[in-house]
C-alpha cells in the first residue's frame, strides 16, 4: 500500500460524504486506505462512515470510539492502524483540501532525504490578536523546549512509516501532537497553504480551547515554569534576607522600631499569593504524573469496520 490517510472526525456528518468524494478523486492513481476515526460523535457521523464503508470497503476502514477522546487520541488510533509506506493526517471538515495530499506525496517520492512534509497555515484570515497569540505561542515553545516549532505548521502532513513508528513509541496519555511531531525531529519540508472555510458544522477549537491547548503544550514539553518558580523564590528569599539584616541593624544600633502594619500586610499578601501560584504550578505537574502513571488506554474503540480480527 502506498498511502494511509487518517481522518479524525467528531460530529462531522455534514462533511463526510464530500470529503470522501474529494479524497477518492484526488487519490485516484494511488494505492490508498482511508482510516476514518469517529471520535465519539453524537450525530450521524458513524452512520455516514458505515455507508461509505459498505460502498467502498476496499479503500475504507473505520474506528469508532466509545466516547470523545479528542483529536490527538484519534490521530494516535489512526496511526496504530497504519501499514503503508506513507501516512497522511487530514481534518474531516474540508478546510484542508485533499488536493494537497498528492503534492506532499510527490515531494517525498522525489526527495529521499526528507522524512515528512507539513502544510503551514498562513493565518491570513485570522484577526491581529489571534495572529499575535499564535506567533507568541510558537516562539515561546521554540525558546523553552529548544525544539523546532514552525509558526502555523498544522497536523495536515504526510510522513514516512518510520516517523509514524517514532510517534507511536511515545505512549503518553496527554498527547500534544504538535509537540510530538516536533520532538521526534526528522527532516521536514514545509508548504504554505490557505485553509478553506469549514464546509459544515462548527470548529471545536474555540479561543478557550486554544488557550487550554497552549498551556497543555507548555506543561507537557517543558519544566521551565518550575525553574521560574525556583528562581523567583530564590530572589525573594535573597531580598528578604537583606531586609532582615537591615531591620536588625536598625533596631540594635539605632533603636528604630519597625513601623508599618500596611507594609507587613502587603508583604504577607504578595508572598501568600506567590506561594499559592508556585504550589499550583507544582500541582499541574503532579496531576500530569498522576494521570500518566495510571497508564490508562489513550482511547477505547467501541467498534471497527474493515479490520478483520485485528484488535485495536
Ligand atoms: N476533532 C476530533 N475530536 C475532537 C475535536 C475535533 O476528532 O474532539 C476533529 C474534527 O472533526 C476535525 C479536526 O479534528 O476533523 C479539526 O477540528 P476543527 O475543525 O474543529 O478544528 P479547527 O480546524 O477549527 O482548528
Ligand atoms: Mg477545522
**Alpha helices for 169-222 (secondary structure H):** 177-183, 207-221
For helices 207-221 and 224-249, the axis angle rounded to 10 degrees is 80
What parts of the chain have a pLDDT lower than 70?
Answer: 258, 309-312
| Dihedral sign, Cα of residue 5, residue 11, residue 15, residue 21 | positive
Q: Tell me the whole-structure pTM to 2 decimals.
A: 0.84
Tens digits of residue pLDDT in 267-286: 888 888 888 888 998 998 99
Index of the ligand 1 atom closest to the CA of residue 198: 19
- Whether the CB-CB separation of 153 and 123 falls below 8 Å is answered with no
- Whether the CB-CB separation of 6 and 35 falls below 8 Å is answered with yes
- Residue 92 Cβ contacting ligand 1 at under 6 Å: yes
For 62, 112, 128, 148, the CA distances from 6, given in Å and listed in that order, are: 10, 23, 32, 24
Look at residue 196 in the predicted model and tell me its pLDDT.
Answer: 86
- Residue 91 Cβ contacting ligand 1 at under 6 Å: yes
Residue holding cell 517543558?
222
SS3 312: coil
- Residue 134 Cβ contacting ligand 1 at under 6 Å: no
Look at residue 295 in the predicted model and tell me its pLDDT.
Answer: 87
Residues 56, 33, 305: CA angle, nearest 5 degrees: 60
300: β partners = none
Tell me how far the alpha carbon of residue 36 lies from the centroid of ligand 1, in angstroms: 13
SS3 196: coil
Index of the ligand 1 atom closest to the CA of residue 70: 8
For 78, 98, 115, 154, the CA distances from 185, given in Å and listed in that order, are: 21, 25, 10, 15
Q: Mean pLDDT score of the chain, rounded to an integer?
A: 90
Mutate to test the pocket of ligand 1, among 204, 206, 212 (most ligand atoms within 8 A of CB): 204
- Residue 38 Cβ contacting ligand 1 at under 6 Å: no
Q: In sequence order, what DSSP letters do the residues of 82-133 get, joined into one string?
A: --SSEEEE--SSSSS-THHHHHHHHHHHH-TT--EEEEEE--TTS-HHHHHH
Q: 256: burial class by Cβ within 10 Å (0-12, 13-18, 19+)?
A: exposed
Residue holding cell 474503540?
301
Strands 188-193 and 153-160: unpaired
Please report which ligand is nearest the Cα atom of 154.
1
| Dihedral sign, Cα of residue 92, residue 98, residue 103, residue 106 | positive
Strands 116-121 and 153-160: antiparallel
Look at residue 145 in the predicted model and tell me its pLDDT.
Answer: 87
| Dihedral sign, Cα of residue 291, residue 294, residue 299, residue 302 | negative
Index of the ligand 1 atom closest to the CA of residue 12: 11
Tens digits of residue pLDDT in 192-205: 998 888 878 888 77
Residue 31, C-alpha cell as written in the block: 494505492
Look at residue 254 in the predicted model and tell me its pLDDT.
Answer: 83
Amino acid at each position: 500500500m502506498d498511502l494511509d490517510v487518517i481522518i479524525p472526525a467528531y460530529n462531522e456528518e455534514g462533511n463526510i460524504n464530500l470529503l470522501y468524494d474529494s479524497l477518492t478523486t484526488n487519490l485516484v492513481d494511488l494505492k490508498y486506505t482511508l482510516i476514518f476515526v469517529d471520535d465519539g460523535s453524537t450525530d450521524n457521523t458513524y452512520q455516514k462512515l458505515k455507508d461509505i464503508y459498505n460502498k467502498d470497503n476496499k479503500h475504507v476502514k473505520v474506528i469508532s470510539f466509545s466516547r470523545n477522546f479528542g483529536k490527538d487520541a484519534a490521530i494516535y488510533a489512526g496511526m496504530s492502524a497504519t501499514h503503508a509506506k506513507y501516512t497522511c493526517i487530514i481534518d474531516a471538515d474540508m478546510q484542508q483540501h485533499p488536493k494537497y495530499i498528492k503534492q506532499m506525496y510527490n515531494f517525498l517520492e522525489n526527495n529521499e532525504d526528507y522524512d515528512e512534509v507539513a502544510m503551514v497555515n498562513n493565518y491570513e484570515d485570522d484577526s491581529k490578536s489571534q495572529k499575535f497569540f499564535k506567533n507568541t505561542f510558537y516562539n515561546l515553545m521554540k525558546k523553552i523546549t529548544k525544539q523546532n516549532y514552525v509558526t502555523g505548521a498544522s497536523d495536515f502532513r504526510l510522513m514516512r512509516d518510520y516517523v509514524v513508528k517514532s510517534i507511536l513509541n511515545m505512549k503518553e496519555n496527554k498527547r500534544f501532537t504538535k509537540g510530538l511531531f516536533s520532538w521526534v525531529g526528522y527532516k521536514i519540508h514545509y508548504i504554505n497553504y490557505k485553509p478553506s472555510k469549514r464546509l459544515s458544522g462548527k470548529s471545536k477549537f474555540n479561543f478557550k480551547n486554544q488557550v487550554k491547548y497552549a498551556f497543555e503544550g507548555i506543561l507537557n514539553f517543558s519544566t521551565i515554569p518550575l525553574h521560574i518558580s525556583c528562581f523567583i523564590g530564590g530572589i525573594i528569599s535573597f531580598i528578604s534576607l537583606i531586609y532582615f539584616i537591615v531591620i536588625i541593624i536598625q533596631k540594635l544600633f539605632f533603636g528604630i522600631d519597625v513601623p508599618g502594619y500596611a507594609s507587613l500586610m502587603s508583604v504577607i499578601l504578595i508572598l501568600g499569593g506567590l506561594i499559592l501560584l508556585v504550589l499550583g504550578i507544582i500541582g499541574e505537574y503532579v496531576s500530569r504524573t498522576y494521570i500518566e502513571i495510571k497508564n490508562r488506554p489513550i482511547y477505547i474503540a467501541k467498534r471497527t469496520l474493515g479490520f478483520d480480527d485485528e484488535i485495536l
